[in-house]
Structure 1
Amino acid sequence: MHAPRTTALTFTALLTLAACSPGTGTGGKAASPGALKLTSTTPAASGTLDEVTWNLPFGEPTTLDPAKVGDYSPNTVEANLCDPLLRIRPDYSLAPGLATSWSNPDDKTLVLNLRTDVSFWNGHAMTAEDVVASLARQRETATQSVNTQALANVSTITATGDHQVTVRFKTPDELFLKYLANGFGAVSEAAYLKKAGTSYGTAKGGLMCTGPFKLSSWRSGDSLTTVRNTAYWDTSLRPKVKKLTFLFVTDNSTLTSALLSGQIDGSYEIPSTVAKALSSSDIGTLYYGPSAQTVFVYPTGPKSPLADHRIAQALSLVLDRDALVKNVYDGAAQKLKTFIPSLVWQKSEAADVYAKGYDALPAVPDVDVAKAKRLVDEAAPKQRTISIAMGAGDQQSLQTLTFLQAAAKKIGLKIAVKQLQPTQMSGLFYDPSLRKGLDATMALGYIEIPDPLSYAQMFTSPLSPLNWIKYDNPEVTALLTRSQASLDPQASAELFTQAQALYTADLPMVPISAPYERMFMNKRISGAPASFAYINMPWAAMLGGTDKAGS
């Protein structure tokens, strides 16, 4: 799972929107709330291509080690290089990956049966020992895994056959299996891991995985190149693109020009300003898909004025979300009742329970300045200026905070926007020293695995490193703990929704929006999924040429 981004949306209405026929996009029309059509897929590719150039709008990856990926850029690349044990489909449902099947002989045991026909890029066969090594190394401090919480309830991980792994737990854990669908569950060759050591996943140390693309070269500051794995075990996903090059263009104007000129063939996470320029061009298609992304403002410490839930509620009451979605996102987002989007659970066996729980939450509030003023007066904060961090150059976040600034003035509060460089912005989520002088941050988060429990615990558990405000509601903690320990999907969901109702009322956070996925491909390529599920699936293996590839 990943931490909130700067760094793991749709609710009941999305169930209807997502049913649109595959391949629908804006087709040159400007987006508007009533006209948007969401799709999880795009028209299947029809031919091979020698090369495709794809952009990473959040910049160059810091690592490709599956254990460490936890942000847009590294996830986008790594998902095509290193296969996980389970796979996420475009609709965010789970499917077999390197594990063909799994079972629970009892509540504290998980048995994974592995494919017998898988080889690493070097031709060496994948065995259970590789799986054990890949999972177990994430306990080691030197690995710096971003998914250590997935191992919290694990007692042992052992090879119980050449192609079978058995995991035993100290207490039942319904989340563990789902974590196997992201970088935590990706399999690397044990011998290569040992040889590469801490340089694994870097330009120097390289990778040794089983995915549809192989890492070819990594020129720091310039590009990252992968080539297709012609011996890929999943014959239905053997790549049609021979060479896939990733660029790191973060400037919106430069990206717009490169996409319109064809220098870059496609990109996920298209910024709204770029989307407007692309929507009026016939160079390709801008797709909107369901997403597990979430935007909210979150206090950085218990002394922040925003750590008082009355102040958070007051800001929520003066924020005109309808205007924000229209003007900042060009209609390509939805309002949020809470900070977890429905794509995360809508394919669950207990989707009806989650839906009922979400529907029961208080509605997104209309603007009510009088009520907000009363809350501020009641809280009587000693500090009325709230400094909020955001990533420098992120125009969407700046526009959002500008909305919040104007709204806050109406209730006697001042918002001071602090633009931080990418490394500092990303680092503040893990380094307390980088949060000094800040009262809150603009969190651009996403949920990697199809279960809302994983994300909720990050902000409500007293033990979570992201619980900066020391939120501690014993009833919420108890309910979420019981939810995780239940292997009955319906019972687990019931417990989660009870906890959700409680923390939605007292967790000081300002939910803002749930952006849709925005992906662009020029007319020479097609096939890539349009939903946010791309973040943990081999999306580039679906890419290929169209009948317009030569035009």
Structure 2
Amino acid sequence: MAARRQALALLVSASLAAGTACSAGSGSGARPSSGASLSSTTPPGAGALDRVTWALPMGEPTTLDPAKVGDYSPQTVVANLCDTLLRMAPDFSIGPGLAEKATWADEHNLVLDLRPGVTFWDGTPLTPRDVVYSLRRQTDPNTQGIYGSALAQVTAIEATGPHQVTLRTKAHDEGLFKALVTPFGAVVQETFAAKAGAGYGTPTGGVMCSGPFKLASWKSGDSITITRNDAYWDARLRPKAARVVFRFVTNGNTLTGALLSGEIDGVYELPPGSAAALAKANNGSIHLGPATQNVMLVPGNPQTPAADRRLLDALSLAVDRNALIKNAFGGDATLLKSLTPPPTWAGDPAAAQLNAAYDALPAIAGPDLERARQLVAEVGAPKRPLVTAIPAGDQRDLQIVTFLQAAAKKIGVDIEIRQLQPTEMSSLFYDPSIRNGLDLVVTFGYVAAPDAPSYVADMVDEGALFNWTDYRNPEATRLLDQARTAADPSEAAGAFARAQAAYTPSLPVIYLVAPHERMFMNKRISGAPASFAYMNMPWAAYLGGTAS
């Protein structure tokens, strides 16, 4: 145990500068199908910028309250506003954030030594009390937070010094440690948040944090503007951009036009259609990076005929994934064999062991229409079309589900496409009432923390937030618990590998592809991280002007 505690202390004490080295990850999924290499970083931006306009292709955020942030758009913004206790680097490694050091003093005490001298945007000091409040509010019913499960092993959260907070736990919990890089680990000012109440994180309630940018304005239906925090504690990341304006652009054609004209400077999650047009125009650069993303087809509720794994296997066998990757992702994705793509554990000490376990999973079968039709005959074809949800206006998701619709038709299964407005699409992940009339949901998801066991548990454990079909697998749950509480990296990896082998073939999910991060910046800016780690780091603080 002592060796493990030392390793953790070294991990969080390492300089963030070391995390900017390029890394494509290892094992499966390290290179895109197109053959282009992946990079975690882009050339540094040097010059000052008055304004950067950035697109949010998934639409307007539903909230900017870190405790409720669990989707692309809000997390892309909040990562620049609210500092987390630990911070992710572009290569998915974990480094210091508001906590200079995080150490397991023993199996029951995770000690956070806070950075002195940090202030909120209003100039008031960040204190252990704010940290305690921010973590505790995750489980307050009035908060309606989504990260409360990260505190499952925590018995108490206490200020134990003028710059120290200790989390008392039932057992060692590696998931708790890793969650500190996500919005779960974001620290908000207690006084401001308590006064705002239910309005915290809304266009009228605002937020109060300590990040490199401040929230300046939120114009519903149009844009969010953040401005530079000149008093930011991390001198290396004091922004070069005076302000960043986030525009909500969900239509692919509109986005392409705005990027080509220079009206919008950059975007993460660049759609393939836009990428093709921008590659020809040569007015900027498309950057491909490693990502912890997954595209899956998930049944919406326990009652749907799609919850039967045999029907899902039939649909899976009907899909030509290589054609899907080529047509819907421009070749920039790999086959997905289970819930978590390998970059999830790229920075784990047992990454080689975890990669080997993933590679040992059965190969993706198909397309095999004959076997698929046999399975449909066995389970019985649904008597009505399977209603499948995607976000309205998203051409990529429409292309994916249209591809699936054509494949399903070949085996006697009809799919009805239902396009939901972005807010409703985002809400369905947390509101079961929205999913009642949905048989399938095309999920373009991601692993937020570099913690595969906790991510999987949210879909596999009985009663978990994303276990929409009442799936039960006690052995997998037991092994996931073991993986989360094991202090030794090899022991944790072994338990996760066994759990993965247990749930992968039986969980009611169709694993489709693992996309790579695709980001665009025009010629006047550079510096933004190219990997999916941008979701857990103040990526806009890296932006700067170029010479051209």
Map 1:115-154 → 2, pairs under 5 A: 115-154=115-154
Instruction: Find the residue that maps to 1:141 and give its secondary structure.
Output: coil
Alignment deviations for residues 55-111 of structure 1 (CA, whole Å, 9 cap, x no partner): 111122221111111111111111011100000111111111111112112211111
Determine the C-alpha separation between the residues in 2 that align with 1:34 and 1:84: 35
Offset at residue 465 of structure 1 (A): 2.8
Alignment deviations for residues 180-199 of structure 1 (CA, whole Å, 9 cap, x no partner): 11111011122222222222
Determine the C-alpha separation between the residues in 2 that align with 1:262 and 1:411: 46
Q: Which residue of 2 aligns with 1:493?
A: 493
Matched letter for residue 318 of structure 2: V
Determine the C-alpha separation between the residues in 2 that align with 1:400 and 1:255: 19
CA change 1:204–1:437 in 2 (3 A) is closer
Determine the C-alpha separation between the residues in 1 that align with 2:436 and 2:442: 15
Instruction: Find the residue that maps to 1:175 and give its secondary structure.
Output: helix
Q: Which residue of 1 aligns with 2:235?
A: 235
Matched letter for residue 215 of structure 2: L
The 8 Å contact of residues 80 and 211 in structure 1, kept in 2 or not, is answered as yes
Determine the C-alpha separation between the residues in 2 that align with 1:223 and 1:374: 51
Residue 12 in 1 paired to residue 27 in 2? yes
Offset at residue 151 of structure 1 (A): 1.4
Q: Which residue of 1 aligns with 2:275?
A: 275
Map 1:339-418 → 2, pairs under 5 A: 339-381=339-381, 383=383, 385-418=385-418
Instruction: Find the residue that maps to 1:298 and give its secondary structure.
Output: strand
Offset at residue 14 of structure 1 (A): 4.2
Determine the C-alpha separation between the residues in 2 that align with 1:225 and 1:401: 34
Matched letter for residue 226 of structure 1: I
Mark the runs of 5 or more structure 2 residues left unpaired by the alignment.
1-23
Alignment deviations for residues 259-306 of structure 1 (CA, whole Å, 9 cap, x no partner): 111111111111111111111112111111111111000111222222
Matched letter for residue 27 of structure 2: T
The 8 Å contact of residues 388 and 416 in structure 2, kept in 1 or not, is answered as yes
Determine the C-alpha separation between the residues in 1 that align with 2:192 and 2:421: 34
Q: Which residue of 1 aligns with 2:94?
A: 94
**TM-score, length of structure 1 as denominator length:** 0.92
Determine the C-alpha separation between the residues in 2 that align with 1:396 and 1:543: 27
Matched letter for residue 284 of structure 1: G
Instruction: Find the residue that maps to 1:464 and give its secondary structure.
Output: coil
The 8 Å contact of residues 295 and 339 in structure 1, kept in 2 or not, is answered as no
Matched letter for residue 223 of structure 1: S
CA change 1:10–1:505 in 2 (3 A) is farther
Determine the C-alpha separation between the residues in 2 that align with 1:203 and 1:422: 17
The 8 Å contact of residues 227 and 242 in structure 2, kept in 1 or not, is answered as yes
CA change 1:218–1:302 in 2 (3 A) is closer
Q: Which residue of 2 aligns with 1:180?
A: 180
Aligned residues: 525
Instruction: Find the residue that maps to 1:158 and give its secondary structure.
Output: strand
> Once the two structures are aligned, what percentage of the paired residues are identical?
52
Map 1:196-275 → 2, pairs under 5 A: 196-275=196-275
Determine the C-alpha separation between the residues in 1 that align with 2:27 and 2:274: 28
Determine the C-alpha separation between the residues in 1 that align with 2:117 and 2:233: 7
Q: Which residue of 1 aligns with 2:43?
A: 43
The 8 Å contact of residues 81 and 213 in structure 1, kept in 2 or not, is answered as yes
Determine the C-alpha separation between the residues in 2 that align with 1:156 and 1:57: 40
Q: Which residue of 2 aligns with 1:5?
A: none
Q: Which ranges of 4 or more aligned residues in structure 1 deviate by more than 6 Å? A: none
Determine the C-alpha separation between the residues in 2 that align with 1:11 and 1:338: 16
The 8 Å contact of residues 382 and 413 in structure 2, kept in 1 or not, is answered as no
Determine the C-alpha separation between the residues in 2 that align with 1:72 and 1:512: 19
Determine the C-alpha separation between the residues in 1 that align with 2:208 and 2:370: 60
The 8 Å contact of residues 10 and 341 in structure 1, kept in 2 or not, is answered as no
**TM-score, length of structure 2 as denominator length:** 0.93
Instruction: Find the residue that maps to 1:325 and give its secondary structure.
Output: helix
CA change 1:221–1:34 in 2 (3 A) is closer
Instruction: Find the residue that maps to 2:205 and give its secondary structure.
Output: coil
Determine the C-alpha separation between the residues in 1 that align with 2:428 and 2:33: 34
Determine the C-alpha separation between the residues in 1 that align with 2:213 and 2:223: 16
CA change 1:33–1:505 in 2 (3 A) is closer
Alignment deviations for residues 134-177 of structure 1 (CA, whole Å, 9 cap, x no partner): 11111211111111111122110000001000100123322001
Alignment deviations for residues 359-408 of structure 1 (CA, whole Å, 9 cap, x no partner): 11001113112222222222235546322111112221221122222222
